[in-house]
Amino acid sequence: MPRRPIIENNRNFTWITQKVCGIVEGRTPMWWWVAFVVSAMVASFTLMGLIYLVSTGTGVWGLRNPVFWGWAIVNFVFWIGIGHAGTLISAILCLLKQKWRTSINRAAEAMTIFAVICAGIFPLFHVGRVWFAWWLFPLPNANAIWPNFRSPLEWDVFAVSTYGTVSVLFWYMGMIPDLATIRDRVPMIFEERMSKAKTAFQQFFEKFYFGFRKYFYGILAMGWRGSNRHWSNYEMAYLLLAGLSTPLVLSVHTVVSFDFAVANLPGWHTTIFPPYFVAGAIFSGFGMVLTLMLPLRAIFGLQDLITQYHIDCMCKICLATGSMVGYAYGMEFFIAWYGANPYEGFAFVNRAFGPYAWAYWIMISCNVITPQFFWFKWARENLWLVWILSCFINVGMWFERFVITVTSLANDFLPANWDYFSPTIVDIFTFFGTFGVFGVLFLLFVRFLPLLAFAEIKSVSKQADVHGHH
């Protein structure tokens, strides 16, 4: 059976450049402004929530005995997990020579970075006195006390900050050749715009705007000129960064799972947590990639670059990782029984049939049942269905973190300590607003930076083969 082409309709290099550069070079579409304003308004909820929190105290978050890891930690793990798909696509699929990654890696990496930013907000403010958050880092302070390196929470500081930084480096390096292309097109687009500008004000605006663009893309492109001597080093650096990001992405969610697994709490203290968290993170991340890419593909007409083949691949990864997560849910139950620890056994029965059973069954239905539709070709080809299922995955993975965090804390060893956790309106505002923060950042990315890694897409097209067209 012949391989399905990665680029459909045999599009040539010029078409690919024009298509992707056109997104940042054209006039700002109306929908973009609407989406941007709405996102900014949503983001203001986070701002309001945080201002109220800082001026009052973390008690406004519904944190009280015994649940001191409420929504903040749930949201942190949720957002950081979302990011993992971006790194999986850019790093692991690069090492596995999966050529289809080139069409989606840029946007997925951007998603990673913005998700890490949203994730970082929560532990930062969860420390309580946020103005002392810098004590998390090994910096000299007036108390002369250093961070406790024996604590998984300190490992997490290093894991998440490294993850954010390396993701930015990888994302930026991948963009350099594409930024150079946009830089080289600036004079041409400027002339086109000037010929259309009628009034003096329009001409002044275009001069000002393109002056900015010339320096913005010029500085970011670092003088890239496409020399093959440069490409040789660049490709090596890219491969190395992929090789470095692979253990990184696996370690980040492993360390996040240590935050739970190193504690002695029933339901947390299990060795399955690291692989289970990593699989869940990739699952949720691909859910988010599908949620974002399907509308973008339709809006910008990228069907020839992000083809049904790409969507099939992403759906299959959701299916595989979702099934792994389902297996982990089952295995947790088995070990809780097989381990014969009454507290552990209770923790799991309580999850499924206790006061939080509603959350547990939302989690099971969204995470275990939803991806099973992706076994079927008709489901993968119905893009509305894929989009709706991907949204369910996002919801389900949030509930997974809620179930893990809250049920274990709320009902631990002694019934006298038990309580039922409910979020407050401040919790809800702060979390809701992070979708706006994410939206604002993603819309700015779509508008100003190359959405697809088109230099890489060209290199996997048929015409790039030096031994002629196969």
Question: Which is nearer to another protein, 207 or 462 (by Cβ)?
Answer: 462
Among 194, 222, 298, 388, binds another protein (CB under 8 A): 222
Q: Tell me the closest approach of the beta carbon of residue 348 to another protein, in angstroms.
A: 27
Name which position in 147, 295, 345, 355 contacts another protein (CB under 8 A). 147
* Best CA proximity match to 448, nearest among 3, 141, 21: 21
237 binds another protein (CB under 8 A): yes
Of the pair 56, 165, the CB lying nearest another protein is at 165
Tokens representing 430 are: 């702060």
- One residue of 42, 241, 362, 363 binding another protein per CB under 8 A: 241
> For 144, left (φ over 0), alpha (ψ -120 to 50), or beta?
left
When the beta carbons of 13 and 346 are compared against another protein, the nearer one is 13
Stretch that binds another protein, among 105-113, 220-228, 343-351, 379-387 (CB under 8 A): 220-228
Question: 353 to each of 66, 260, 319, 327, 359, how far by Cα in Å?
Answer: 20, 22, 27, 19, 10
Reduced to 3 states, what is the DSSP secondary structure of residue 113? helix
Written as six digits, the tokens of 440 are 């604002």
Least CB distance from residue 224 to another protein, whole Å?
Answer: 7
Q: Which residue has the tokens 């302070």?
A: 141
* Residue 203, both tokens: 């001409």
Question: With the C-alpha atoms ordered 210, 212, 217, 219, is the resulting torsion angle positive or negative?
Answer: positive
**Dist. CA 185–CA 195, nearest whole Å:** 16
Question: Residue 135 interacts with another protein (CB under 8 A)?
Answer: no
Contact letters (x/-) for another protein, 148-177, by CB under 8 A? xxxxx-xx--xx--x--xx--xx-xx---x
Smallest Cα–Cα separation from 458: which of 239, 231, 185, 237?
231
The only residue of 53, 85, 88, 255 in contact with another protein, by rule CB under 8 A: 255
Judged by CB under 8 A, does residue 233 bind another protein?
A: yes
Looking at residues 409 to 428 of the shown chain, list those that interact with another protein (rule: CB under 8 A). none
Per-residue tokens: 349 = 């029965």
- Select the span of 7-15, 90-98, 311-319, 374-382 touching another protein (CB under 8 A): 7-15
Tell me: does residue 216 bind another protein (CB under 8 A).
Answer: no
Residue 64 Cβ vs another protein, minimum distance, rounded to whole Å: 25
Dihedral angle of Cα 29, 110, 306, 188, to the nearest 10 degrees: 50
Beta-carbon contacts of 192 under 8 Å, excluding residues fewer than 6 positions away, are none
Does position 180 interact with another protein (CB under 8 A)? The reply is: yes
Q: Which of 422, 436, 430 is nearest to 53 (CA)?
A: 430
Which of 293, 243, 309 has its CA nearest to residue 111? 293
Nearest to 291 by CA among 166, 115, 45, 42: 115
Judged by CB under 8 A, which of 46, 103, 112, 181 binds another protein?
Answer: 181
Q: Which of 211, 223, 301, 330 binds another protein (CB under 8 A)?
A: 223
The region of 8-16, 204-212, 314-322, 366-374 touching another protein under the rule CB under 8 A is 8-16
- Could you tell me the smallest distance in angstroms from the CB atom of residue 426 to another protein? 32
Stretch that binds another protein, among 31-39, 48-56, 139-147, 316-324 (CB under 8 A): 139-147
CB of residue 7 to another protein, shortest distance in Å: 13
Nearer to another protein, 8 or 184 (CB): 184
Q: Counting contacts by CB under 8 A, is residue 98 touching another protein?
A: no
Q: Give the torsion through C-alpha atoms of 92, 237, 304, 387, to 10 deg.
A: 40
Cβ partners under 8 Å of residue 232, min gap 6 = none
Q: Which of 30, 142, 145, 416 binds another protein (CB under 8 A)?
A: 145
Say how far apart CA 344 and CA 341 lie, in whole Å: 5
Q: Decide: is 228 part of the binding site for another protein (CB under 8 A).
A: yes
For residue 468, the Cα-to-chain-centroid distance in whole angstroms is: 38
**Does 459 engage in binding with another protein (CB under 8 A)?**
yes
Instruction: Rule CB under 8 A: say whether 83 interacts with another protein.
Output: no
Rounded CA-CA distance 20/300 in Å is 9
Q: Site for another protein (CB under 8 A): which residue of 57, 225, 271, 388?
A: 225
DSSP secondary structure string, 288-324? Answer: HHHHHHHHHHHHHT-TTTS-HHHHHHHHHHHHHHHHH
Single out the residue of 188, 299, 388, 425 in contact with another protein (rule: CB under 8 A). Answer: 188
Residues engaged in binding another protein (CB under 8 A): 12-14, 17, 138, 144-152, 154-155, 158-159, 162, 165-166, 169-170, 172-173, 177, 180-181, 184-185, 187-188, 218, 222-237, 240-241, 244-245, 247-248, 251, 255, 258, 455-456, 458-459, 463-468
